[in-house]
Amino acid sequence: MSIAEPAAAPTTADAGSSSAISIRDLRVVYGVGDASRAVTAVEAVDLEVEEGSFVSLVGPSGCGKSTLLKVVADLLRPTSGHVAIGGRPPSAMREEGRVGFVFQQANLMPWLKARDNVSLLRRIVKGRGLAADRAVLDVDELLSVVGLEGFEDKRPSELSGGMQQRVALARALALDPNILLMDEPFAALDEITRERMAVELLRVWSRYRKTVLFVTHSLEEAVLLSDKVVLMAARPGRIHQIFDVSIPRPRDRETRLTDAFHETVREVSRELYKVMA
């Protein structure tokens, strides 16, 4: 069977929908079966992420941001509701390597060079039967795009934290995924590196134009990067408000200095304070 054939399983996306990620009436309860311990992590979540857009999830700790990302990544089964990636089930998309992830820790293989860390996943998925004609991105080109030209043969211990996250980003893109999921990818970095990485991510994103679902605690980071900022509230985790960020692209570090940027950050902050009250 060709990997490009539609999945046999029923899909939940509407015909003609341009959503890369479609979430309908999602509910995730941890500890089902033990009423005294059950935690409703997210409830009644509806979200459409347009093809090629950059969407951030923000909100107080425990509002279900990571839970939502894990469901899309097929690392967690929802209690009820529907999730589709390009109209297909997350499990099928993950198996084919069409979902890229970057987490807070780079989790690189310490004994492998940067280049081999990036190509490892490709070798594993190929071993599982990746279609021979499946387009993948060139590893050296990717390393160069993420700013690691000249570091291809270094091992993780020879790279800074920011550089390790660049390798993790290149690895996530190596199979030319349909969507990229990022859960606080810069949270472990110092402030200056973090700001620089956000600007670098803008550059990489404009090059590949992947659909990105990005989790951050930084409203500034969310506004700088995103087309839409999704503000969630906790107990139970739910979507409180979705903000359209109309700041023109291309954006760069100077964008942080503009009135439009500060006004948008203020607008999201005001609502964040309300949901935290």
Ligand X SMILES: Nc1ncnc2c1ncn2[C@@H]1O[C@H](COP(=O)(O)OP(=O)(O)OP(=O)(O)O)[C@@H](O)[C@H]1O
Cβ distance to Mg ion smaller for residue 52 or 236: 236
Per-residue interface string for the shown chain with ligand X, residues 26-55, x marking contact by CB under 6 A: ----xx-------x-x--------------
Residue owning tokens 């999730």? 83
Cβ distance to ligand X smaller for residue 67 or 264: 67
Contact window for ligand X (CB under 6 A) among 62-70, 125-133, 150-158, 252-260: 62-70
- Amino acid, single-letter form, for residue 175: L
Per-residue interface string for the shown chain with ligand X, residues 232-261, x marking contact by CB under 6 A: -----x------------------------
Contact 79, 159 (CB under 8 A): no
Q: Which residue is nearest to Mg ion (CB)?
A: 66
With b for 16 or more beta-carbon neighbours within 10 A and e for fewer, the 248-274 pattern comes to: eeebeeebbeeeebeebbebbeebbee
Q: How far is the CB of 68 from ligand X (least distance, A)?
A: 7
Cβ distance to ligand X smaller for residue 31 or 129: 31
C-alpha distances in Å from residue 229, one per residue of 68, 183, 189, 271, 272: 15, 14, 22, 12, 12
Q: How far is the CB of 106 from ligand X (least distance, A)?
A: 18
DSSP state of 238: E
Q: Which of 3, 17, 62, 121 binds ligand X (CB under 6 A)?
A: 62
**Beta bridge partners of residue 30, listed in sequence order:** 39
Which of ligand X, Mg ion, none lies near 237, with the C-beta cut-off 5 to 8 A by kind?
A: ligand X
65 binds ligand X (CB under 6 A): yes
Q: Which of residues 74-93 bind ligand X (CB under 6 A)?
A: none
Q: How far is the CB of 55 from Mg ion (least distance, A)?
A: 16
For residues 125 and 121, give the distance between their C-alpha atoms in angstroms, rounded to a whole number: 6
Q: Per residue, what are the HEC states of 143-183?
A: HHHCCCCCCCCCCHHHCCHHHHHHHHHHHHHCCCCCEEEEE
Sheet holding 19-30, edge to edge: 39-50, 19-30, 80-85
Which of Mg ion, ligand X, none lies near 90, with the C-beta cut-off 5 to 8 A by kind?
A: none
216 binds Mg ion (CB under 5 A): no
Cβ distance to Mg ion smaller for residue 19 or 226: 226
